[in-house]
């Protein structure tokens, strides 16, 4: 996926395309997670689609759920989704930062040859 440390540095245009691909991957991950969260809140907590959207967004954004959950199934789903949302946050940050970190390390290694 990334060039070897002995290969030449990507051009600015190639690097920006790589950043866009990574951003697109994160967008798909977050979008899919949002849909899964909305469906879960709608099914388990019997929330409207708007309330389901709000709760899923709040958890994915790290803020926490909004409102009371009516039953144990909804509470279990909300807890599991909160753990999942935390992992999505860390994974998204890693995906977005990987090309930048690689470029910095690549630049440092180019000076060794």
Interatomic CA distance for residues 43 and 19, integer angstroms: 36
pLDDT value, residue 108: 79
Domains within the chain, CATH numbers bracketed: 14-110 (1.10.287)
By 3-state DSSP, what share of the chain in percent is helix, strand and coil, each rounded to 5?
A: 75, 0, 25
CA dihedral for 51, 41, 78, 60, sign (positive or negative): negative
Query: Going by C-beta distance under 8 Å and a sequence separation of 6 or more, which residues neighbour residue 42?
Result: 48, 49, 52
How does pLDDT run along the chain (113 residues), one tens digit per residue?
777 767 787 789 998 999 999 999 999 999 999 999 999 999 999 999 999 999 999 999 988 888 889 999 999 999 999 999 999 999 999 999 999 988 888 877 766 55
Interatomic CA distance for residues 71 and 17, integer angstroms: 46
pLDDT value, residue 79: 94
């Amino acid at each position: 996926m990334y060039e070897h440390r002995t290969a030449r540095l990507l051009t600015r245009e190639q690097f920006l395309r790589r950043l866009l691909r990574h951003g697109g991957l994160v967008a798909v991950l977050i979008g899919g997670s949002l849909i899964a969260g909305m469906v879960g809140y709608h099914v388990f907590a019997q929330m409207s689609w708007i309330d389901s959207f709000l709760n899923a967004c709040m958890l994915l954004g790290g803020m926490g759920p909004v409102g009371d959950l009516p039953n144990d199934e909804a509470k279990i789903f909300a807890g599991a989704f909160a753990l999942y949302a935390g992992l999505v946050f860390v994974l998204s940050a890693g995906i977005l930062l990987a090309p930048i970190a690689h470029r910095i390390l690549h630049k440092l290694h180019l000076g060794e040859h």
